[in-house]
Amino acid sequence: MGKFGFFRNGDDAPDQPRGMKRPKIGIALGSGVARGWAHLGVLKRLNELGYEPDIVAGTSMGALVGGCYAAGTLSQLETYALSLTRRKVFGLLDLTLGGSGLIAGTKLTELLNQHLGDLNIENLEKEFIGIATELATGHEIWLRQGPLVEAMQASYALPGIFKPVSVGGIWLMDGALVNPIPVSVCRAMGARLVIAVNLNTDAFGAGTVIQNTGFNGEDNSDVSTSNGGHSIAATIRRRIFGRSDTTDPGISDVMMAAFNVVQDRLARSRLAGDPPDVMIAPRASHIGIFDFDKAKESIELGRDAVDKALPYLEEAVELLKEHA
């Protein structure tokens, strides 16, 4: 294990426990921006069915939801997610013209700190690993100790959108750049049964589709104007997120479309080399990158996906019990 309490991919991990009555379950929560609310539905439905994960590995939005699950605050996160409106979502996006990201992220960090405080990963109710990418080397970093909120920030620090996060003096960014669906992490940490949640499985051909952010004057009437013209802040936001009255993509649309193409190809490659035992695949490609206000729909998609995968999950668990 490296200093500052994180593993680099390839470091020694705990041995696989033997003689289990029930196979040790690991769940790999993939990246997916606003589609990540589907993880809420997946985790709650698995718990209802008696397949509660023992190990939680998350990348990007998967790290945020997975971290809350491991901390025992999933219900609070769901309540907050369901309360989001389009106005509230954009109210959290504190734009900045300086630094290395379009969004400062201060408001989101304050919100996470309010609910998670000074929780450390090693003190969580479940084993949790957040996946990040080391900026200087491109190495895959497994965050297993230290402040939970800091690990979440590092894992979802999407290049160009959020600035990198310094953890122990090392700059980290979005883990989706190296491991979008961290199946390999669950296996390395001792899981006998690995469930993967892929939020982009039905996104084939969607890489060139620009998701309309719905950003317009009505959604941002609180932005100050003068002489009938929009403020500088409003103009910048429209430039970044695009407009609802034009087909022209904004900067974030182009960045995310390009990122999704790279992420999709990487996820396919990694899953082919180390496939999960069970794949849960919410059909969420129609959820836009900033559609955080569609939590109810996303959560239901997650629940439905678990039910569809249930026969395969039951079969896998029984098989592993026989060979425990």
Indicate which residues carry an active-site annotation: 60, 174
Nearest by Cα to 174 from 186, 188, 161: 161
Provide the phi-psi class of 233: left if phi over 0, else alpha when psi is between -120 and 50, else beta.
Answer: alpha
Look up residue 209 and give its two tokens.
């589709």
Phi, psi values for residue 27, rounded to 5°:
-125, 130
How many CA atoms within 13 Å lie on the side-chain side of 52? 9
DSSP string, 165-196: EEETTEEEEEGGGT-SS-HHHHHHTT-SEEEE
End-to-end Cα separation, the chain, in angstroms: 28
